């Protein structure tokens, strides 16, 4: 399955942090984590003792790959380890995600605080990774003890438990902002240049002339204030040249009424002819 935002014509980013899923329980969550990683240019997926083994066949494999959508390549390249110690052996720095204070006197950061530092370190050649615990229980204290610092999320204290893929997504988002910038990937196209002051003033004079003819500016002493208020409405829009032309045409059509075209006149002729025949027959 290919998502609506997938564009195979553009380069997919890779590298970044290692995402280490410790004893994940559900194949579908592994697939969703892969998809979250692909969204933000992360490609190093590591699995520690997945429940019932890594789902490379049968229904579990189907569920994982369906959830990964077009990020299934990450699942194909996922590395499987028997222990957290083996999974993080080549990393220079490890973060442990947890919603609970563990009493281990480790530095505690949110992803927004930690990821800028992580991005600089990885750009400098370090290898860093983030541990995510089992869906039901989270990381145990021995897992956390292998980490350099703790990552936790600013969430509602009454419901602090995050879905595994959601946690990966939040970390990935902050990582991407720090490593690649947080500008929007596209902007609204400018279809027309800004209107010149000459165009805008001419539009105002045309509009106000028609309004004056129809008695809009009453009582007369309030005309200057009403005029300024009206003009400021259009100033706030920041009109383009096309905006001025469109509004001008719309107002002219409202004032003058429908334009009679050759086609309109042709449609009217049969009716008049029929009317003439009826009169002729009646006489």
pLDDT tens digit sequence for 226-254 = 999 999 999 999 999 999 999 999 999 99
The string of DSSP letters for 143-203 reads HHHT-SEEE-----TT-----HHHHHHHHHHHHHHHHH----S------SPBPPHHHHHHH
The pLDDT confidence band at residue 90, using thresholds 50, 70 and 90, is: very high
User: 3-class SS at 130?
Assistant: strand
Domains of the chain: 18-180 (3.40.1280.10), 188-259 (1.10.8)
The Cα 204–Cα 195 span in angstroms is 13
pTM: 0.68
- Let me know: does 82 contact 49? Beta carbons within 8 Å: yes
Over 50: is that where the pLDDT of 282 sits?
A: no
Tokens representing 54 are 């890594």
Give the span between the Cα atoms of 50 and 21, in whole angstroms: 8
pLDDT, tens digit, 9 for 90 and up, residues 33-43: 999 999 999 99
List Cβ neighbours of 6 (8 Å cut-off, separation of 6 or more).
69, 70
Average pLDDT of the chain is: 86
pLDDT digits (tens, 9 = 90+) for 121-150: 999 999 999 999 998 888 999 999 999 999
3-state helix, strand, coil in the chain (%, to 5): 50, 10, 40
């Amino acid at each position: 399955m290919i998502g609506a935002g997938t564009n195979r014509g553009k380069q997919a980013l890779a590298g970044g942090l290692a995402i280490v899923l410790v004893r994940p329980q559900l194949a579908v969550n592994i697939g969703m984590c892969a998809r979250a990683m692909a969204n933000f240019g992360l490609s190093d997926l590591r699995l520690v003792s997945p429940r019932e083994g890594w789902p490379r066949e049968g229904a579990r494999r189907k569920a994982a790959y369906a959830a990964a959508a077009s990020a299934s390549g990450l699942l194909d390249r996922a590395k499987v380890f028997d222990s957290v110690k083996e999974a993080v052996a080549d990393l220079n720095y490890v973060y442990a995600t947890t919603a609970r204070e563990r009493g281990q006197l480790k530095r505690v950061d949110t992803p927004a605080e930690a990821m800028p530092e992580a991005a600089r370190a990885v750009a400098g050649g370090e290898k860093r990774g983030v541990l995510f615990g089992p869906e039901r229980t989270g990381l145990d204290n021995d897992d956390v003890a292998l980490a350099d610092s703790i990552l936790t999320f600013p969430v509602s204290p009454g419901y602090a438990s995050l879905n595994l893929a959601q946690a990966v997504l939040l970390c990935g988002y902050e990582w991407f902002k720090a490593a690649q910038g947080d500008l929007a990937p596209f902007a609204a196209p400018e279809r027309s240049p800004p209107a010149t002051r000459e165009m805008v003033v001419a539009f105002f004079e045309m509009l106000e002339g028609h309004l004056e003819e129809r008695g809009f500016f009453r009582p007369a002493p309030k005309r200057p204030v009403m005029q300024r208020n009206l003009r400021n409405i259009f100033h706030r829009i920041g009109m383009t040249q096309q905006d001025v032309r469109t509004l001008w045409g719309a107002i002219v059509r409202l004032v003058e009424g429908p334009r009679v075209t050759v086609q309109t006149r042709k449609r009217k002729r049969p009716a008049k002819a029929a009317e003439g025949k009826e009169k002729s027959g009646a006489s």
